[in-house]
Amino acid sequence: MEHSIFMDKLKVPTDAELRRVLGDKYKLWMEIRDRVYEKYPEGRGVRIPVLNSSAQEDIFRLIDIKLAF
């Protein structure tokens, strides 16, 4: 099982930390995050390895399914 890069659950990563850690995947992360915020008030934990944008629509569908129930 993969571990989170940000282990301190009491500290929200800054934008700069996210950019540093995610590198070229930062833009994809922001698109997924924005979709969740746009469609739902509360965030829920889910861990999905995302290596590129080819799975983006599938991830959006999973978000819709997870938060619908």
Residue 43's pLDDT is 57
Domain ranges of the chain: 15-68
| Tens-place pLDDT, residues 15-44 | 999 999 999 999 998 988 888 788 777 655
- Cβ-Cβ contacts under 8 Å for 19 (sequence gap 6 or more): 26
46 against 1, higher pLDDT = 46
Judge contact between 69 and 46, C-beta under 8 A: no
Residue 39's pLDDT is 76
- Cβ-Cβ contacts under 8 Å for 69 (sequence gap 6 or more): none
For residue 8 the two structure tokens come to 């301190």
Residue 48's pLDDT is 75
Sole residue written with tokens 């659950």: 9
